[in-house]
Amino acid sequence: MLNKTYLVTAGPTHEQIDPVRYIGNYSSGKMGFAIAERLAELGANVILIAGPVALEVKNQKILRIDIVSADQMFEKCQDYFPTCDGAIMVAAVADFKPVKIRSEKIKRSDEILTLSLCPNPDIAASLGRIKRANQLLVGFALETTVDEQKAMVKLRQKNLDLIVLNSLGDDQAGFKFDTNKVTILDQSGVIFTSDLKPKSEIAIEIVNKIIESQQGRAGIS
Ligand code: C5P
């Protein structure tokens, strides 16, 4: 029985441009939801901060909080993280948002349209800054190539304990698919590499590594 509480972020964020348009990405939310379900199956309480996705939660131990934008996800993560034993940041947060949301629909025209974008807050890094010694912070890295060195830099920059690397270059892995293939790194380097498997099975392996890592840090063997 996993007597702990975890925060999980999942899905994309949508950054509004005008009343009918947004900037988004192809994240389905499947990997984050699968991790939330696995943690709950093991008895953990889960706070799932979900972007706009077409998925249902099954386990009653999951408290689902729906948000739309990165700013909203940031607010919820700041509110809930201090009460959690760990956070698993699976969401594909939009890196940029329009500087100004237009109140009227932008009209079609033959002119070139320039949208000014500003960076969104890095939610994982913000949690890395307030993380306590007994809290575990896990990030994901989705790249077009498997680059362990880059993942390691990201782990350090965001003060993560684990980073799960998946590559869009791997056939059938990453966004949209029901399967994934991952490499997990901690501060010492690669600790796990999976085969290509259904996301529900990958979730079991990721959660096992999270639990092992947290037990290791607490000195439980
Ligand atoms: O820097 P990059 O976007 O590749 O980092 C990916 C990791 O950081 C993921 O765990 C993602 O959920 C998290 N992230 C975040 N807020 C952002 C950007 C990324 O929490 N604005």
pLDDT at 220: 64
Domain segments of the chain: what residues? Answer: 5-96+116-220
How far, in Å, is the centroid of ligand 1 from the Cα of 61?
Answer: 25
pLDDT at 176: 66
In angstroms, the CA 155 to CA 209 distance is: 16
Ligand 1 atom closest to the CA of 163, numbered from 1: 10
Q: Is 141 in the pocket of ligand 1 (CB under 6 A)?
A: yes
Its pTM stands at: 0.95
Interacting residues of 121 by C-beta distance below 8 A, sequence separation 6+: 70, 71, 74
In angstroms, the CA 16 to CA 20 distance is: 8
Ligand 1 atom closest to the CA of 94, numbered from 1: 21
The model's pLDDT over 71-129, given as tens digits with 9 standing for 90+, comes to 999 999 999 999 999 999 999 999 999 999 999 999 999 999 999 999 999 999 999 99
Query: What CATH number labels 5-96+116-220?
Result: 3.40.50.10300
pLDDT at 21: 98
Q: Is 177 helix (H, G, I), strand (E, B) or coil?
A: coil
Residue 132 has pLDDT above 90, yes or no: yes
The model's pLDDT over 182-220, given as tens digits with 9 standing for 90+, comes to 999 999 999 999 999 999 999 999 999 999 999 888 776
How far, in Å, is the centroid of ligand 1 from the Cα of 47?
Answer: 18
Q: Whose CA is nearest to atom 5 of ligand 1?
A: 141
The model's pLDDT over 45-72, given as tens digits with 9 standing for 90+, comes to 999 999 999 999 999 999 999 999 999 9
Phi and psi at residue 149, in whole multiples of 5°? -65, -40
